[in-house]
Amino acid sequence: MNKQLTIEQFVASLKSGMTIGIAGWGPRRKPMALVRAILRSDLTDLTIVAYGGPDVGMLCAAGKVKKVVFGFVSMDAIPLEPWFRKAREAGGLDILELDEGMLQWGLKAAAFRLPFLPTHVGLGTDVMTHGGFKTVQSPYADGEVLLAMPALKLDAALIHVQRADRLGNIQALGPDTYYDEWFARAADRTFVSAEEVVDRMDHSYPEDARFNIVERCFVHAVVEAPFGAHPTSMPPAYGWDMKQLKAYAASAREEAGWDAYAADIIGADEAGYLDRVGGKDAVAALPLPIF
Amino acid sequence: MTTAPEFTLCEQLIVAASEAWRANGELVATGIGPAPRLAAGLAKLTHTPELMMTDGEAYLVEDPVPLGPRGYDDRKAAGYLPFSRFFDAAVWSGKRHAMVTPSQIDRFGQTNISYLGGTYDQPKVQMLGARGFPGNSICHINSMFIPAHSKRVFVEGEVDMVSSVGYNPARRTPGVNFSRVDLRLIVTDLCVMDFGGKDKAVRVVMLHPGVTFDQVQDATGFALEAADEIKTTPAPTPEQLAIIARLDPHNIRAGVLKDNPAGKRS
């Protein structure tokens, strides 16, 4: 069994119109190398499900997105994601705005192969009104009326971690794993990019098995992508690149700003990308953010 | 209790806001933004030490983490509460009291951080999105901090998009359990309000020195009630000011209110 793909094979296995979940959280541990591969592809009409950061903004800027299902789209220190904002204010973008907790609940419903999971959350707000959610009544004595959060079934999930092996064992070493395991379980196929891919985790890093965030039966392919989270953070290895995130945000204020950013920074391949953002050593030295 | 001779209005508001968490017990105190965060830290270090607090990333800390630049490993972790446990262990379980700064608030305590103007499909100004507000508001205690009290924030009708649940009877879906909706304080640059009026109406309970009820009413888009006895917001003590200064060594609080006014209005 060998689940390793090249980044070209990864992007070739996606199709236009798919529903793709992107793991990570805002500007934290986003599978940006995989996102850049999509940016460089002909894929279009995607539905993106995410706790969004520059991943969602860039895909919107590049015209890849039909619909965004989101808990938020933010770059933290830059609270309003400028390209997502621009796309939404222009109209024409299909939107499902969720409470952050509802999103994980929808992924869990999909993971457990349930049509929905009940919750209080969303009731009494316009998230309910605009989202078109239905309610269910508890069959027990309480008779409570609850929102039925539909399963968020994904065609594909994208995740970035420190380490993977060819069998699909993965390790994420940072202090937080966000909701990545639920993206993986909610998806038909999960693509994991890793800073490093080894033959067998038990031969290389057996002492770190507790950093395995999801079982390998939920990992369908692994792609080696050093610094693949840049410009988002990859604790404990490197922090987010605020200089790059600011340059990207500034491109939203320029005429044809995205085309210029895509040509000058995203470019044609990952090796060139790392050179264009300052080189591997500079990315490796990015300090971790302090909150 | 001696009061400090010199203090800023922001420092006075931080002290007033810290009262929101008094006697809350063992739950997560979250202050979003510099002033609410300092207020939560002050509450923990003075009257309610059992409060829980995070470092803003993944760990629970017993010493509130100071604002601004510092060594990455300066915080001492006592527990663990990453995003991946937050809904399980704080929000949906009700073990949290958050203080937030919404863009709009209406007479029912419904708030908006999603968008302003236009429609859901094409908002005039896209803001943050509802984020965790629907869940926060129906699951745990909430308070608010408003640095510039105005009719743009305290709107006349309903907010543009109801992001958090308030006490609006028209939005009480039959059969739904809204019993956990629990709105406490609204601290603004003019006054302190609560939801102790008729049918949970917003009520002025404290006025900052030199501010009148009429002034507050004029800056509010809906009719306010007044507490039977409106108090004057107390001045910070030297001890409170020392704690605030220690938690904010770079004086980030100086940028919270426009022109950083003094606590005593001239």
Question: Is pLDDT at B176 greater than 80 in this prediction?
Answer: yes
Asked whether the beta carbons of residue B84 and residue A176 sit closer than 8 angstroms, the reply is yes
Chain A residues with CB-CB distance to B135 below 8 A: 99-102, 120-122
The per-residue pLDDT for B1 is: 56
pLDDT range class, residue B193, cuts 50, 70, 90 = very high
Averaged pLDDT for residues A135-143: 98
Burial of A175 per CB tally in 10 Å (0-12, 13-18, 19+): middle
Mean model confidence pLDDT for chain A: 97
Question: Is pLDDT at B75 greater than 90 in this prediction?
Answer: no
Averaged pLDDT for residues A43-49: 98
Q: ipTM score of the complex? A: 0.95
Mean model confidence pLDDT for chain B: 96
Averaged pLDDT for residues B40-53: 98
Verify cis geometry, omega within 30 degrees of 0, for the bond prior to B147: no
Could you tell me which chain A residue has the CA closest to the CA of B54? A291
Q: Calculate the CA B194 to chain-centre distance.
A: 11
Which residue of A79, A84, A99 is in closest CB contact with B134? A99
Q: How many CB pairs under 8 A join A and B?
A: 147
Could you tell me which chain B residue has the CA closest to the CA of A82? B126
Which residue of A79, A127, A177 is in closest CB contact with B134? A127
Distances (CA, A) of B66 to A128, A216, B63, B243: 38, 40, 9, 10
Residue found under tokens 């895509």: A262
Residue count (chain B): 266
Which of A152, A97, A105, A147 has its CA nearest to residue A122?
Answer: A147
DSSP string, A145-173: EEEEEE---EEEEEEEEEEEETTS-EE--
The per-residue pLDDT for B80 is: 97
Quick check: A85 and B126 in contact, CB under 8 A? yes
Backbone torsions φ then ψ of A63, nearest 5 degrees: 75, 25
pLDDT digits (tens, 9 = 90+) for B219-253: 999 999 999 999 999 999 999 999 999 999 999 99
d(CA B47, CA A10): 56
d(CA A185, CA A190): 8
- Hey, which residues does A78 pair with through a beta bridge? A75
Reduce the DSSP state of residue A121 to 3 states and report it.
coil
Asked whether the beta carbons of residue B127 and residue A80 sit closer than 8 angstroms, the reply is yes
- Give B251's DSSP letter: -
The per-residue pLDDT for B266 is: 59
Cα Rg of chain B (Å, integer): 18
- Residue from A121, A142, A211 to probe the interface with B (highest B Cβ count within 10 Å): A121
Structure tokens of B150? 């105005």
Distances (CA, A) of B202 to A88, A271, B98, B209: 34, 58, 18, 20
Handedness of CA A265, A266, A269, A273 (dihedral sign): positive
Structure tokens of A142? 């309480």
pTM greater than 0.80: yes
Q: First CA to last CA across chain A, in angstroms?
A: 42
Which residue of B122, B127, B138 is in closest CB contact with A123? B138
Chain B residues with CB-CB distance to A130 below 8 A: 120, 161
